[in-house]
Structures are given as structure tokens and as C-alpha cells.
């Protein structure tokens, strides 16, 4: 079972409510926060920070940052992130290992980085009539600024191009922005946007990474059972500390049963999260591609099994993503 006991995919309002409840019930340990920028459709981006004496942000502890949904249809990403928040909060009370790790670190969890996109995908009624515009399979955000005029009207959910318009937040960061593996075309699923950090969602992430001591981050996606690290394209410099960076990725992959590799080995990407954050800060960043075969498979497989490492997850018996996240936190606590 999951730390929260959850058995089905959350809606956006449940994420927001639960994060605030976790903070309200654990005032010394947990602080809920809203990212500085709300989305084009006016939604808040909500997160929690978990640390002993959580309000004392100048204590100099390393920050471990877990992000969920960048891509709207990748629902398990949000679930794994919020379960990790429960894990830390419950574990602080009843698991000595977690208690010790939480005591040495600060932990930021933002389950839904892209709430406009997520809510459309999550709330979509199957349409079946106009497949191209099937909202459930939306990937990007809802910013229509670069779309043709007729597709700029109304919120995403009410526009015939709601599925296609928007920017891919995982192509909008400044790391090698504008290169291969990202599109200049408004309707492409990998549209990079008009300029690096043109989007509110990526600016919010930049705000956290650039204003806090983020030494370790994981950005969650679905699917392919991968633990990815920089670089996103083969013909750019390799990290100077690649052996140690790779070793942490390999260790986490031994837990969840995924393949550990540089992300260019999957395909070229530019403007993705850790291709910016790694070179901006030197903190290690990983993309997890959770689950074997779909963007949001049945909850029991994609969330319960993949998180806990109980069969039929790839990492059955090895701890699953839960244990991989503990490895990452251990590295943040004792680098």
C-alpha cells in the first residue's frame, strides 16, 4: 500500500487540498506554498516543503526537490511525488531512517507543475469524435500566445485546439534551448515556446532552483522505465562529475529496475529540466520515466506497484521508486 493509502488517481483539487492539510496538521515539519506565478488559466501551483523547523530556511541544509506532472497526461508523475511527501511526513514519526534523513535536509515536492494541462487531461470526457483534439492525451501547457488567432480564444478546455496549443514545458528551459529534439511549431507536442523560460511553469521551477540550495532533483514523467541524466543531446559537453552522477543514477535504477542512461540515448532533447538545472547549479538532476507502457495506466500498476516495488513493478523486491527516492535523499544528506 501507498503511504497515503490512496487507491485511485487524484484530481487537481485533491492535490491542493491534501498538500495544505499536510501542512496544517504538521506545522513544524511541513509548509505548503504556492509558486510565485499562477498559470495562464489562473490556477495555483502548489507544493510543500518538509524539514525540521521548516520555517528556518536559512539553515543551510541541502534541498532535495521532487517534481511531478510537467506533461499533462502523465498522471502517475504527480502521484509518485505526493506519495513521497506522505512518506517523509509519516516516516518522520515512525521510521528512524527517514527521520534521520529528514533531519539533515530540506525537501520540496511539487506534484503538479502544469495544473492547466493536467486538469484538462484528468477531467476530459473521452471524446472519440475528433481524435486529434482528444484532451485526455494533452501533453503541453495551455498558453495560446503563439497559436493562430482562431485557436487563441477561450480556455484550453473550450477551444477546438485545446489539445494542440501550448508549450512543452520540458523544452522551454534554457539548457541548450532551441536545439534538436524541440520544435519551433506552435502545434507540435514538443513546441519549445518563443524563448527560454517564456512559460510561467518553467519560471516557477527556476525560482525554486535558483533561490534555494537545490543539490538533488528528480523530475517525474511516464513512461519507459528509465532513469535519465544529462546531457539531452550527444554533442554537448559531458558533466565533469559524470562518474559519481552516473553512479547515483545506476543505484536508483537498481531499486526501481529501470535502465540508467544519459537522456540522449533515448532521443535528443533540448530545453529540458535538468539540462538547464545541472549546468546552472551543478546539482544533480534526473528524469524518471515511470512504468513500462502507457502515460496513465491503471493506478494499481503505475502508482502502487511502481512506487512500492511490489509485483508487477519492474523493481519488485528491490524497493521501487520509494527506495530510489530514499537513495537520492541519502545523497543529499551525506554527499
Total interface residues for ligand 0X9 by CB under 6 A: 14
**CA nearest 298: which of 68, 9, 2, 6?**
9
Q: Check: CB of residue 163 under 8 Å from CB of residue 137.
A: yes
Residue 212's alpha-carbon distances to 61, 70, 318, 326, in angstroms, are 10, 20, 32, 20
Per DSSP bridges, beta strands 62-69 and 30-34 are unpaired
Q: Look up residue 90 and give its three cell numbers.
A: 509519516
Q: Which of 170, 321, 323, 331 binds ligand 0X9 (CB under 6 A)?
A: 170
Distance in Å, CB of 77 to Zn ion, minimum: 7
Q: Check: CB of residue 23 under 8 Å from CB of residue 48.
A: yes
- Rounded Cα distance between 8 and 12, Å, is 13
List the alpha helices (DSSP H) in the chain: 12-25, 75-94, 96-104, 115-123, 200-211, 242-256, 273-281, 299, 306-308, 320-333
User: Mind telling me the catalytic residues?
Assistant: 289
Residue nearest to ligand 0X9 (CB): 232
Q: Check: CB of residue 112 under 8 Å from CB of residue 69.
A: yes
323 touches ligand 0X9 (CB under 6 A): no
**CA nearest 110: which of 231, 205, 251, 235?**
205
- Rounded Cα distance between 26 and 48, Å, is 11
272 touches ligand 0X9 (CB under 6 A): yes
Q: Check: CB of residue 286 under 8 Å from CB of residue 275.
A: no
296 touches Zn ion (CB under 5 A): no
Question: Which residues between 104 and 133 bind Zn ion (CB under 5 A)?
Answer: none
Distance in Å, CB of 140 to ligand 0X9, minimum: 10
Total interface residues for Zn ion by CB under 5 A: 3
Distance in Å, CB of 273 to ligand 0X9, minimum: 7
Distance in Å, CB of 91 to ligand 0X9, minimum: 28
172 touches ligand 0X9 (CB under 6 A): no
71 touches ligand 0X9 (CB under 6 A): yes
Contacting range for ligand 0X9; rule: CB under 6 A; set: 21-29, 108-116, 262-270, 302-310? 262-270
| Contact of residue 83 among Zn ion, ligand 0X9, none (CB under 5-8 Å per partner type) | none
Question: Which residues between 207 and 236 bind Zn ion (CB under 5 A)?
Answer: 221
Distance in Å, CB of 52 to ligand 0X9, minimum: 32
| Contact of residue 232 among ligand 0X9, Zn ion, none (CB under 5-8 Å per partner type) | ligand 0X9
Interface residues with ligand 0X9 (CB under 6 A)?
71, 74, 170, 221, 228, 232, 263, 266, 269, 272, 274-275, 287, 289
Amino acid at each position: 500500500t501507498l503511504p497515503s493509502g490512496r487507491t485511485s488517481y487524484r484530481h487537481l483539487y485533491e492535490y491542493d487540498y491534501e498538500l495544505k492539510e499536510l501542512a496544517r496538521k504538521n506545522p513544524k515539519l511541513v509548509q505548503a506554498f504556492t509558486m510565485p506565478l499562477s498559470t495562464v488559466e489562473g490556477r495555483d501551483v502548489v507544493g510543500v516543503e518538509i524539514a525540521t523547523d521548516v520555517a528556518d530556511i536559512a539553515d543551510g541544509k541541502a534541498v532535495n526537490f521532487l517534481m511531478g506532472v510537467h506533461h499533462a497526461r502523465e498522471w502517475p508523475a504527480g502521484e509518485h511525488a505526493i506519495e513521497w511527501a506522505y512518506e517523509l511526513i509519516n516516516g518522520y514519526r515512525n521510521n528512524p531512517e527517514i527521520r534521520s534523513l529528514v533531519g539533515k535536509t530540506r525537501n520540496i515536492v511539487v506534484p503538479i507543475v502544469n495544473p492547466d494541462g493536467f486538469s484538462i487531461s484528468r477531467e476530459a470526457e473521452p471524446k472519440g469524435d475528433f481524435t486529434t483534439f482528444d484532451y485526455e492525451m494533452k501533453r503541453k501547457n495551455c498558453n495560446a500566445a503563439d497559436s493562430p488567432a482562431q485557436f487563441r480564444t477561450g480556455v484550453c478546455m473550450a477551444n477546438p485546439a485545446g489539445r494542440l496549443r501550448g508549450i512543452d514545458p520540458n523544452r522551454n528551459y534554457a539548457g541548450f534551448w532551441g536545439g534538436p529534439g524541440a520544435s519551433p511549431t506552435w502545434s507540435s507536442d514538443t513546441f519549445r515556446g518563443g524563448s527560454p523560460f517564456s512559460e510561467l511553469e518553467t519560471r516557477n521551477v527556476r525560482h525554486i532552483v535558483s533561490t534555494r540550495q537545490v543539490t538533488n532533483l528528480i523530475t517525474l514523467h511516464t513512461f519507459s522505465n528509465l532513469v535519465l541524466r544529462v546531457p539531452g543531446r550527444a554533442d554537448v559537453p559531458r558533466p565533469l562529475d559524470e562518474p559519481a552522477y552516473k553512479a547515483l543514477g545506476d543505484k536508483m535504477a537498481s531499486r526501481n529496475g529501470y535502465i540508467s542512461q544519459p537522456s540522449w540515448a533515448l532521443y535528443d532533447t533540448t530545453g529540458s529540466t535538468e539540462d538547464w538545472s545541472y549546468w546552472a547549479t551543478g546539482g544533480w538532476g534526473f528524469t524518471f520515466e515511470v512504468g513500462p507502457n502507457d502515460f496513465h495506466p491503471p493506478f494499481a500498476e503505475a502508482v502502487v506497484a511502481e512506487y512500492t516495488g511490489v509485483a508487477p513493478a519492474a523493481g519488485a523486491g528491490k524497493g521501487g521508486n520509494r527506495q530510489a527516492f530514499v537513495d537520492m535523499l541519502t545523497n543529499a544528506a551525506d554527499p
